[in-house]
A = this chain, B = another copy of it.
Amino acid sequence: MRQTFEDSAHPSFGPLHTPLIRAAMAEQALDGFLIPHEDEHQNEYLPAANDRLAWATGFTGSAGAAVILKDRAAVFVDGRYTIQVRDQVDQGLFEIRDLVEGGVPAYLRETARAGWTIGYDPRLHSPDALGHLREAAAKAGAALKPVETNPLDAAWGQARPPQPKAPITPHPLEYAGEDSAAKRARLGADLAGQGAEAAVLTAPASIAWLFNIRGGDVIRTPLPLGQAILNADGTARLFLDPDKVTPELPAWLGNAVTLETPADLDGALRDLNGRKVLADPAVTSAWYFEALEAAGASVIRGADPTALPRACKNAVEIAGTRRAHIRDGAALTRFLHWLATEGQATLPDELEAVTRLEAFREATGALKDLSFDTIAGATANGAICHYHPTRRLNRRTQAGSLLLIDSGGQYLDGTTDVTRTVAMGEPTADMVRHFTLVLRGNLALARVRFPAGTTGSALDALARLPLWAAGLDYDHGTGHGVGSYLGVHEGPHRIAKAPNTVALRPGMIVSNEPGFYKEGEYGIRIENLQYVTEPAPIPGGERPMLGFETLTLAPIDRRLIARDMLSDEERAQLNAYHARVAATVGPLVPADVRAWLEEACAPI
């Protein structure tokens, strides 16, 4: 069993650890200290050794921050975590604030006092993030100060888990589709075109993609923690802990890549003296910018050069993710069949559901890891976005309730992410109405055709319109990028209300996951992954239009669909999708499951 159901943090963490952090702050004469969720690599999912926010506060969400001042403290979370944080964090100690509305800068403006010195670890903040914080502190008359030694790390001391040292292995061409030398040549030429002689890469996903390697330093994502310097001529210096380097790696990397140790990094940055070096202020920590400037390099602030090419999957990667989704769809279908038969009788709890689903994925023989800890939200737990079941929070499904299951698998040929919401027993009329509204949004975003240059922000409303018209909405984004045996959340594109200037391009994989959450009662989300198709002409039209092809293959619960709320076009679209699921997944599942699937995919 890969997923565990133990709490990795506890509300007592704050009262236990904050005094230690404050003592370490006092030693450095700091009046406050900033604790972002992100680590040295701006990771979203963290190795245990880097989950500083959880250790300091008890909060384990995938985004957030804390500020510990000498006389007060606050934890900052976004809309997904407003319920979870109240359960995980001692509110006697921490004020709970919104991460997005105002966020840390507003808190600093309100609470910092003139003359205060507020510390931050420059290895943990991007310059983009720091700019706003610095400005806010200045408005309050306080100053931000980079620390040499992180007082939280000092307080954590011996109790801190060791840094991960998972072996790093080649990611073969049959999955990557383009060899590293070709990627480096193409990105090097791009660098030269931008007037840069080199780029500093610190995002583990960038390193994994560029060098066609995978690691295991971060749970649920095959990331190798490390850094690299890519030169405009396509050569590179790659900095990896020697303990993680497998014997086949040097030959795989080839002569144009120098394999070095993390201890060599400082010197390598100093070697960039006088050179024009690109670094991405959104994903690379401020520390690197300071080091580069101290080295006398001329820093060009620009997007991580791997981000866009990595997001646009090549034909081999698309073929791989199709295979992964068929395999994963078969496993999920077996689970949905179990839920629709035995499950309807036994009414399993969340942990049983998660365990059963993991077993079906494991039985494919191809599962390398889960894409993330499966979210199984029974009854009211389904209304908690990004809920993760634990022994403590576990609920049993009930007749007349909904079970929301958001899950995915990491396979060598692709990363999956899928949410299905299933009726246990007889759903109420409201459940059916709400589910159908969510479904209509999902269908609209799946069938849209759009011209080149269209961003995800421009399409976000399509998934919300049916809900909006009913006076409803959901407080999370509609779609995130997904990697190819890499992060299940990947930029630079996104489908969300927040403005995003990156146009959707052919080959980009993106989730389509509208939802509705009835607090205290149930949660609904329907999530498919889809990829952007090449511009294609439309009869009678003038401009070729991009579109989406759905990757995820698993039935959508027909018992939750109000037929008369669907237009003819929507019904035809749903029926065509279900026919494809039955035809593709049916041959891969046992006969009894196949029989059930035929019914589950019957036209509506």
Tally of this chain's copies: 2
A310 to chain B, nearest CB (A): 23
Chain B hits for A591, CB < 8 A = none
A537, B471: Cβ atoms closer than 8 Å: yes
Q: Which residue of B lies closest to A517 (CB)?
A: B542
Contact with B along A528-551 (1 / 0, CB 8 A): 000000000111111111000000
B453, A468: Cβ atoms closer than 8 Å: no
B139, A195: Cβ atoms closer than 8 Å: yes
Q: How far is the CA of A84 from the CA of B158 in the complex (A)?
A: 73
| Of the residues B433, B458, B543, contact of A497 by C-beta under 8 Å | B458
| Of the residues B460, B501, B540, B542, contact of A458 by C-beta under 8 Å | B460
A residues 468-496 touching B (CB-CB < 8 Å): 468-473
Q: How far is the CA of A31 from the CA of B491 in the complex (A)?
A: 42
Binds B, one of A167-175, A376-384, A444-452: A444-452
A462 within 8 A of B: yes
Q: How far is the CA of A217 from the CA of B338 in the complex (A)?
A: 76
A540, B471: Cβ atoms closer than 8 Å: yes
Q: How far is the CA of A394 from the CA of B473 in the complex (A)?
A: 50
Chain B hits for A500, CB < 8 A = 499
A470, B540: Cβ atoms closer than 8 Å: yes
A450 to chain B, nearest CB (A): 5
Known contacts A499-B499, A501-B499, A545 near B468 by CB under 8 Å: yes
A residues 415-474 touching B (CB-CB < 8 Å): 433, 448-451, 453-455, 457-462, 465, 468-473
Q: How far is the CA of A207 from the CA of B448 in the complex (A)?
A: 44
Q: Which residue of B lies closest to A500 (CB)?
A: B499
Q: How far is the CA of A590 from the CA of B558 in the complex (A)?
A: 58
Q: How far is the CA of A543 from the CA of B464 in the complex (A)?
A: 13
A470, B139: Cβ atoms closer than 8 Å: no
B455, A468: Cβ atoms closer than 8 Å: no
A451, B470: Cβ atoms closer than 8 Å: no
A448, B471: Cβ atoms closer than 8 Å: no
Contact with B along A342-354 (1 / 0, CB 8 A): 0000000000000
| Of the residues B139, B461, B499, contact of A450 by C-beta under 8 Å | B461
| Of the residues B451, B459, B499, contact of A473 by C-beta under 8 Å | B451
Chain B hits for A471, CB < 8 A = 449, 537-545
| Of the residues B448, B540, B542, contact of A465 by C-beta under 8 Å | B448
A–B complex contacts, Cβ < 8 Å, 29 sampled: A448-B465, A448-B468, A448-B469, A449-B468, A449-B469, A450-B468, A451-B468, A455-B497, A455-B499, A457-B457, A457-B458, A457-B499, A458-B458, A458-B460, A461-B462, A469-B538, A470-B538, A470-B540, A470-B541, A471-B537, A471-B539, A471-B540, A471-B541, A471-B542, A471-B543, A471-B544, A471-B545, A472-B542, A472-B543
